[in-house]
Structure 1
């Protein structure tokens, strides 16, 4: 199944112009699956970056607006879109001019592919 997911994510990577990386991690930032272009964007995938997202989501959820689902971070050369798919974190890294709306639209498309990984993480 992980080969199917990897092929699917690689296809998404090719479809979205300016998208460099799609990574699935657990809540603690342990990488489970990653597809990427040639461009080196490891800063956003450092071990401390993903757990910081989890903390930020928890804090944002305390604003009284409901549970936080997505955080978009814009940098001078990159954008990072992180989606809370507990127990998984889905991270997209793209160019600063990558279509953020297109990335956000992928959320529901990948949900079906994440179920097996969610189950494996939950059972572990």
Structure 2
């Protein structure tokens, strides 16, 4: 699964993808793929854990969220108990990364099922 995850993500580095990671709700990284252009702090657990806390407090469960911060866009997908986080350049094609997120949801589904047992 790790090789497939990395293969899918590295193909999109040229399109502006900087970081793709799958974490648990505490921010523990399970899978990650990082481009050479990514800043070191982009893989810190702050981003996925903030999403988890916010989503837990919301009255409705949010499946996907897209944010823009400074020069970056952050796309997060809830796949309880996992969170998929994609960080890309703000000028990159958001739809491309939303599709990537959907592909990663499918790829990690067996892992989610195993964690639920």
**TM-score for both structures, normalised by structure 2:** 0.83
Residue 36 of structure 2 corresponds to residue 38 of structure 1: yes
Structure 1 segments unaligned to the other structure (5+ residues): none
Structure 2 segments unaligned to the other structure (5+ residues): none
Residues 16, 89 of structure 2: 8 Å contact kept: yes
**Residues 65-97 of structure 1 deviation map (CA, whole Å, 9 limit, x = unaligned):** x42112222111111111111111101001111
Residue 92 of structure 2 corresponds to residue 94 of structure 1: no
The farther-off stretch of 43-52 and 26-35 is 43-52
Q: Secondary structure at the match of 1:106?
A: helix
Aligned to 1:73: 67
Number of aligned residues: 117
Aligned to 2:103: 109
Alignment partners' CA distance in 2, 1:106 and 1:42: 22
Indicate the RMSD between aligned Cα atoms, in angstroms.
2.0
Q: Secondary structure at the match of 1:5?
A: helix
1:120 CA drift (Å): 4.1
Alignment partners' CA distance in 2, 1:89 and 1:69: 10
**TM-score for both structures, normalised by structure 1:** 0.79
Residues 41, 93 of structure 1: 8 Å contact kept: no
